[in-house]
């Protein structure tokens, strides 16, 4: 089939993919260690990490909004260029709001993150069951913890926004990092 359609590689099994990844086990370990370190830092500075997340999102929205407005005005030949400009303005407004009212923005982000953790946790559980026995348990455990963290965020929202968001991100990163380290150790030749 790959001869009929250049650029398409034949499908490989999961076992073959894992075999090819063995040489890169150190990268998986390093990524896991980095996630683990960031998680511990977030846990020790929960309120700071919550506000840092809000400010980072605000700056990303402002930057993306500015670029989208420039893109819209530079693409006036497109029939719907105005929608690019309006979309960019929404990003700018939401980003400026997050800078001006970071606690309110943190409450909104907390609700979004709670829903995101639920979805990510279910995805990790599903993906974990597709792996071999060794790393499967750790990745499924990471998915269960992430799902529970999402439920906790939503259950305490909005009263616990300032501290819980930073704590929950820290816990999630610790377990996520540990699961990547476990996978790396399983891949190690």
Q: Is the pLDDT confidence value at 57 over 50?
A: yes
CA angle 135–137–143, rounded 5-degree value: 105
Confidence of residue 92 (pLDDT cuts 50, 70, 90): very high
Percentage, residues of the chain above pLDDT 70: 94
pLDDT beyond 90 at 98: yes
Which range is least confidently modeled, 122-126, 133-137, 172-176, 178-182?
133-137
**The model's pTM:** 0.59
- Residue 43 Cα to chain centre, angstroms: 17
Binned at pLDDT 50, 70 and 90, residue 1 comes out as very low
Token digits of residue 34: 């980095």
- Count of C-beta atoms within a 10 Å radius of residue 70: 13
Q: For tokens 């980072």, what's the residue?
A: 56
Minimum mean pLDDT among 28-32, 57-61, 108-112: which range? 108-112
Whether residue 10 is predicted with pLDDT greater than 80 in this model: the reply is no
Work out the pLDDT band at 161, boundaries 50, 70, 90: confident
pLDDT tens digits for range 99-108: 999 999 999 9
Question: At 59, is the pLDDT very low, low, confident or very high (cuts 50, 70, 90)?
Answer: very high
């Amino acid at each position: 089939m790959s001869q009929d359609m250049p650029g398409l590689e034949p499908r490989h099994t999961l076992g073959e993919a894992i075999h090819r990844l063995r040489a890169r086990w150190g990268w998986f370990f390093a990524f896991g260690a980095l996630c683990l370190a960031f998680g511990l830092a977030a846990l020790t500075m929960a309120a700071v990490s919550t506000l840092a997340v809000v400010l980072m999102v605000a700056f990303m929205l402002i930057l993306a909004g500015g670029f989208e407005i420039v893109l819209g005005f530079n693409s006036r030949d497109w029939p719907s260029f105005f929608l690019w400009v309006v979309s960019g303005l929404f990003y700018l407004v939401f980003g400026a709001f997050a800078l001006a009212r970071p606690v309110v923005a943190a409450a909104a982000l907390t609700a979004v993150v709670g829903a995101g953790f639920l979805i990510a946790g279910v995805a990790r559980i599903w993906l974990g069951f597709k792996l071999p026995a060794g790393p499967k348990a750790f990745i499924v455990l990471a998915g269960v913890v992430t799902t529970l963290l999402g439920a906790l965020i939503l259950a305490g929202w909005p009263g616990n926004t300032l501290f819980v968001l930073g704590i929950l991100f820290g816990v999630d990163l610790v377990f996520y990092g540990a699961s990547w380290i476990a996978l790396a150790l399983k891949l190690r030749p």
